[in-house]
Structure 1
Amino acid sequence: MSHLGMKIIESTPDKVVMTMPVDARTHQPIGLLHGGASVALAESAASLASLLNLQSEEKTAVGLEINANHIRAVREGLVTATATPIHRGASTMVWDVRITNERDQLVCISRCTVAIINRKK
């Protein structure tokens, strides 16, 4: 997360908000926000949200599936991801993640499914 400049703004079991700069680290070759960087931000927010919902220190959360629709291009500035729960189960959690630009316009919408697994000892 630090390699891409991601920062946690808010983190509760019901909502995680993270930001990421749009710069050389997150650009694709023609200078736009890379879709993979958006997906990395979305999965980071969903994974953190899942960890905050775990009821046992013997469990951990790992990404299982993610999809993303890239709605609007961004060349510079800051994008913000907000993850909110769709489903919080014992073995999986599903998160809605909306990424917006500095004008609060939708950039990317993602759904991330996270598996809840036993933590290795």
Structure 2
Amino acid sequence: MNKQQSLDILNGFNKNTLMETLNIEFIDVGEDYITAKMPVNSKVHQPYGLLHGGATAALAETVGSCASAFFLKDKSKIIKGIELSINHLKSKKDGEVFATAKAIHQGRTTHLWEVKIVDEENNLISLCKITNIVLDKK
């Protein structure tokens, strides 16, 4: 499968979800990472006109969970997020943010991902860690 086919599959999951509401779009996929972008505008602002931490967390969980599911070789399994930790380091008013998930651990039952969220100039906005559990499909 080529990169564009992979991105089409990933973006196909966004319809009628929070990801569609937040305009999250997968833009890059490699052998060990996935990157998505999200626009920063009034839809994702908190009352002070800054990027809402909850929107940032939703972006991080989206990328980390989708990375686990995408790279999982056993299609009889599903992924569910069980823990998300996020540190907000810099504020953002407009433009776009980019989240890249890279695996720290991909075990049989748990996956641990680091998600870095940066702006257009590669300034670190938030640093996240997400733990996913691997379960049998019912």
What is the TM-score when the length of structure 1 is the normalising length?
0.95
SS for the counterpart of 2:75 is coil
Measured in 2, the distance between the counterparts of 1:108 and 1:119 equals 32
Is 1:39 the counterpart of 2:87? The answer is no
What is aligned with 1:59?
77
Q: Could you tell me which residue of structure 2 aligns to residue 8 of structure 1?
A: 26
User: What is the Cα deviation at residue 119 of structure 1?
Assistant: 1.3
CA displacement at 1:25 relative to structure 2: 1.3
Identity fraction in percent: 38
Is 1:78 paired with 2:96?
yes
**After TM superposition, which residue ranges in structure 1, 4 or more long, deviate above 4 angstroms?**
none
Shift, 1:12, TM fit: 3.8
Q: Does 1:119 align with 2:137?
A: yes
CA distance, structure 1, for counterparts of residue 48 and residue 23 of structure 2? 20
The answer for the alignment partner of 1:21 in structure 2 is 39
AA at the equivalent of 1:10: D
Equivalent residues of 1:11, 1:49 under 8 A apart: no
- The structure that is strand-richer by fraction is 1
- Using the size of structure 2 for normalisation, the TM-score is 0.84
Task: Name structure 1 gaps, 5 residues minimum.
Answer: none
3-state DSSP class of the match of 2:120? coil
Task: Name the counterpart of 1:100.
Answer: 118
What per-residue deviation string (whole Å, max 9, x for no partner) do you get for residues 87-109 of structure 1?
00010100000000111100000
Q: Which has the higher helix share?
A: 2
Shift in Å, 1:11: 2.6
Equivalent residues of 1:13, 1:52 under 8 A apart: no
- Structure 2 distance, partners of 1:98, 1:118, is 29
Local SS of the residue matching 1:90: coil
AA paired with 2:40? V
The one-character-per-residue Cα deviations of 1:102-121 (angstroms, maximum 9, x if unpaired) are 1110000000001111112x
RMSD: 0.9
